[in-house]
Copies of this chain bind each other. A is one copy, B any other.
Amino acid sequence: MDFSYSEKVQRLIQKLSVFMEEHIYPNEKVYEQQLNEQDTRWSAVPPIIEELKKKAKQEGLWNLFLPDAQYGAGLSNLEYAPLCEIMGRSPIAPEVFNCNAPDTGNMEVLARYGSEEQKKRWLLPLLNGEIRSCFSMTEPDVASSDATNIQASIVRNGDEYVISGKKWWSSGAGDPRCKVAIVMGKTNPDAPKHEQQSMIIVPLDTPGVKIERMLSVFGYDHAPHGHAEITYEHVRVPKENIIWAEGKGFAIAQGRLGPGRIHHCMRLIGAAERALELMCQRVKKRVAFGKTLAEQGVIQDWIAQSRIEIEQARLLTLKAAYMMDTVGNKAAKTEIAMIKVVAPNVALKVIDRAIQAFGAAGVSDDVPLAAQWASARTLRLADGPDEVHKAQIAKLELKKYD
């Protein structure tokens, strides 16, 4: 188990860090301003984003997430980990490097399971950052943490599939550039449990696709990206839009979720690191009751505890990444489940301490803490709630004693 960084990775870390300092952090406020100056926060993507994307592409900081060497950077999960962590430090960073969810997961699905035609039509513009995509799996009416509950139907009708169902948390659908959804639904309710579901490509301008509303996250609308509730009403797409084959929905989801989950974890560690950094800087300057907050024992305890938790979470992420690279996503499932539980909880604790150290400023948007807390909180639910992952870990542990 070798966690050392190759020279290539070290160069990328260095380059990426410089880019963050020069172009990302100083533009976080610019992004917010541009967003708020528009007619509505949903009208358009703040222009700064496309400017920065161009710069990132020029620097070669582009599609680093994709292990596929033909389409992406060809980095292993372990190599990508420190880079993704750095991107996670800023809410606006991942997209600038074309490494933001759910596009990353969708691109990975298309790269691994898509037909040549699908790749040409959808993967390439996504890789170029020309369009965006969303992923329609979760449904409001059932506990979607148990994927067998998914009710949307995908019915073959001649040369077409007809899709009907209600989805929500289709993140990214608010973006004016979002052109396509990957939809999960049942093609065959009578098949064995794990072969009932399929994934299919649905262009968002297909008749019958209706974006009902945007959901908020702890008061954040996350415009213009957004989290959409979408009704698919008798939506017809050509039969060629099915991904891989009928009944492969589960298999694809498994393949998609492993990397998706660990990317979230890497970003969360970056968010936690930044919160710790902000907290340290703050407490060294702020004075109460005759000394700086940094001199208060309780604050020191928070800093130590945060450093300890981050360090352990990062090591576990690296181990999971290493195992995905060496023994595969399936054999690494305990590790992926563990880090999926650990990373959001660590980030939440560290960010919460930082908020407390900032006082009232901490809950506002003057510092990025509250926003990052809210995003981290969703990740105790997204891609499976903590409890489902823990039940899985326990099951695997108990199995050792059969």
A11 to chain B, nearest CB (A): 18
From 381 to 402 in chain A, residues with beta carbon under 8 angstroms from any chain B beta carbon are 381-382, 385-387, 389-395, 397-398, 400-401
Contact B377 A363 (CB under 8 A): yes
Q: Is A48 part of the contact surface with B, judged by Cβ < 8 Å?
A: no
Docked Cα-Cα span, A340 to B192, in Å, equals 47
Contact B398 A218 (CB under 8 A): no
Q: Mark A351-366, 1 if CB is under 8 A from B, else 0.
A: 0000110011111111
Residues of B within 8 A of A52 (CB): none
Q: Is A296 part of the contact surface with B, judged by Cβ < 8 Å?
A: yes
Q: Is A97 part of the contact surface with B, judged by Cβ < 8 Å?
A: no
Contact of A303 among B303, B341, B385, B393 (CB under 8 A): B393
A328 to chain B, nearest CB (A): 18
Q: Mark A123-144, 1 if CB is under 8 A from B, else 0.
A: 0000000000000001010111
Docked Cα-Cα span, A68 to B62, in Å, equals 49
Residue of B with least CB distance to A335: B311
Q: Is A162 part of the contact surface with B, judged by Cβ < 8 Å?
A: no
Which of A227, A313, A335, A401 lies at the interface centre, i.e. has the most chain B CB atoms within 10 A of its CB? A401
Main secondary structure of the interface of A (DSSP, over half): helix
Residues of B within 8 A of A146 (CB): 288-289
Residues of B within 8 A of A215 (CB): 360, 364-366
Q: Assembly of this chain: how many copies? A: 4
Question: Assuming A298-B297, A311-B316, A394-B304, is B380 touching A356 (CB within 8 A)?
Answer: yes
From 338 to 374 in chain A, residues with beta carbon under 8 angstroms from any chain B beta carbon are 338, 341-342, 355-356, 359-366, 370-371, 373-374
Q: Is A280 part of the contact surface with B, judged by Cβ < 8 Å?
A: yes
Which of A342, A356, A364 lies at the interface centre, i.e. has the most chain B CB atoms within 10 A of its CB? A364
Docked Cα-Cα span, A363 to B348, in Å, equals 14
Q: Is A190 part of the contact surface with B, judged by Cβ < 8 Å?
A: no
Contact B360 A308 (CB under 8 A): no
Contact A363 B2 (CB under 8 A): no
Residue of B with least CB distance to A284: B401
Residues of B within 8 A of A194 (CB): none
Question: Assuming A169-B360, A218-B218, A360-B381, is B294 touching A398 (CB within 8 A)?
Answer: yes
Q: Count of chain A residues with Cβ under 8 Å from any Cβ of B? A: 89
Q: Is A4 part of the contact surface with B, judged by Cβ < 8 Å?
A: yes
Residues of B within 8 A of A342 (CB): 308, 312
Residues of B within 8 A of A386 (CB): 356
Residues of B within 8 A of A394 (CB): 299-301, 303-304, 307
Contact of A393 among B2, B142, B277, B308 (CB under 8 A): B308
Docked Cα-Cα span, A385 to B215, in Å, equals 31
A292 to chain B, nearest CB (A): 10
Please report A residues at the B interface, Cβ cutoff 8 Å.
1-4, 138, 140, 142-146, 149, 168-169, 215-221, 227, 276-277, 280-281, 283-284, 286-289, 293-294, 296-301, 303-305, 307-308, 311-313, 315-316, 319, 334-335, 338, 341-342, 355-356, 359-366, 370-371, 373-374, 377-378, 380-382, 385-387, 389-395, 397-398, 400-401
11 residue pairs A–B, Cβ–Cβ below 8 Å: A284-B398, A297-B391, A298-B298, A298-B387, A308-B341, A308-B393, A311-B335, A312-B342, A315-B319, A355-B377, A360-B382
